[in-house]
Structure 1
Amino acid sequence: MNTTILEIKNVRKSFKDKEVLKDVNITVKKGSVYALLGANGAGKSTLLKIVTGLLNCDNGKVTIKNIDVADNPVLAQKLFSFSSQTTTVDGVLTGYENLHLIAKLRQERNPRKVAENLLDKFELTEAKDKAVSTYSGGMRRRLDLAMSLVGSPEIIFLDEPTTGLDPKSRQELWDTIKEMKSQGKTILLTTQYLEEADYLADQIGFLREGEIVANGTPDEMKRLAGADKLLLVFNNHHNTERALKLFEFYYPIKRADCEISIDLDEEIETTLTVLNALTTEKIELKTFKMITPTLDDVFMTLTKG
Structure 2
Amino acid sequence: MTSSAIAVSGLRKAYGDKVVLDGIDFEVAEGSVFSMLGPNGAGKTTTVNVLATLLKADAGTVRVAGHDVATATKQVRASIGVTGQFAALDDLLTGRENLQLMADLKRTPSGDRTVSQLLERFDLGESADKMAATYSGGMRRKLDLAMTLVGRPQIIFLDEPTTGLDPRSRRTMWGIVRDLVVNGTTIFLTTQYLDEADELSDRIVVLDQGHLVAQGAPEELKRQVPGTHVRLRFADLDDLDTAARILPGATRDDQELALRVPGEGDSKSLRAILDRLDEHMINAQEFSVHTPDLDDVFLALTGHASTKEEAK
Same fold (TM over 0.5): yes
Using structure 1 for the length normalisation, give the TM-score.
0.93
Q: Residue in 1 aligned with 2:267?
A: 268
Q: Which runs of 4+ in 1 moved over 3 A?
A: none
Deviations 1:227-257, CA, capped at 9 Å, x for gaps = 5321112223332232233333xxx321412
Is 1:25 aligned to 2:25, yes or no?
Answer: yes
Alignment partner, residue 294 of structure 2:
295
Distance of 1:114 and 1:130 partners within structure 2: 19
Partner of 1:197: 197
What does 1:251-266 align with in structure 2 at a 5 Å threshold? 252-257=249-254, 258-265=257-264
Match of 1:96 in 2: 96
SS at 2:285 equivalent: strand
Partner of 1:114: 114
Contact residue 31 and residue 186 of structure 1 kept, 8 A: yes
Contact 1:34/1:204, CA 8 A, preserved across alignment: yes
Structure 1, residues 179-224: CA drift from partner, whole Å, max 9, x if none? 2112221100111211111111111111112221111111112123
1:11 aligned onto 2:11: yes
- Structure 1 residue 239 and structure 2 residue 236: aligned? no
The letter for the 2-side match of 1:155 is I
Partner of 1:165, secondary structure, is: coil
Comparing 9-18 with 289-298, greater Cα deviation is found at 9-18
Asked if 1 retains the 8 angstrom alpha-carbon contact of 2:51 and 2:62, the reply is: yes
Alignment RMSD, CA only?
1.7
Kept in 2: contact 1:208–1:303 (CA 8 A): yes
Measure the CA separation in 2 of the matches of 1:220 and 1:233.
30
Question: Could you list the runs of 5+ residues in structure 1 that have no partner in the other structure?
Answer: none
Deviation at 1:272, TM superposition (A): 1.7
TM-score calculated relative to the size of structure 2: 0.91
Contact kept in structure 2, 1:20 and 1:209, CA below 8 Å: yes
Q: Does residue 169 of structure 1 match 2:169?
A: yes
Q: Distance in 1 between matches of 2:252 and 2:127?
A: 53
Q: Partners in 1 of 2:303 and 2:108 — Cα distance?
A: 50
**Structure 1 residue 156: Cα displacement:** 0.6
CA distance in 1, matches of 2:265, 2:174: 34
Read off the aligned partner of 2:208 and give its amino acid letter.
R
Q: Match of 1:285, SS?
A: coil
- Contact preservation (8 Å) 1:38, 1:191: no
Counterpart residue identity of residue 75, structure 1? Q
Q: 1:17 & 1:135 partners in 2: Cα distance?
A: 44
Alpha-carbon distance in 1 for matches of 2:155, 2:59:
23
The answer for the alignment partner of 1:159 in structure 2 is 159
Q: What's the counterpart of residue 40 of structure 1?
A: 40
- Structure 1 residues 255 and 77, CA gap change in structure 2 (3 angstroms): farther
Aligned to 1:142: 142
Match of residue 129 from structure 1: 129
Aligned length: 302
User: Structure 2: which 5+ runs fail to align?
Assistant: 305-312
Comparing 48-57 and 214-223, the one that deviates more: 214-223
SS in 2 for 1:24: strand
1:54-69 → structure 2 map (5 Å cutoff): 54-69=54-69
Specify the SS of the correspondent of 1:150.
helix
Structure 2: how far apart are the matches of 1:166 and 1:44?
A: 25
C-alpha contact 2:195 2:294 (8 A) present in aligned 1: yes
Structure 2 contact 230–265 (Cα < 8 Å) conserved:
no
Identity of aligned residues (%): 40
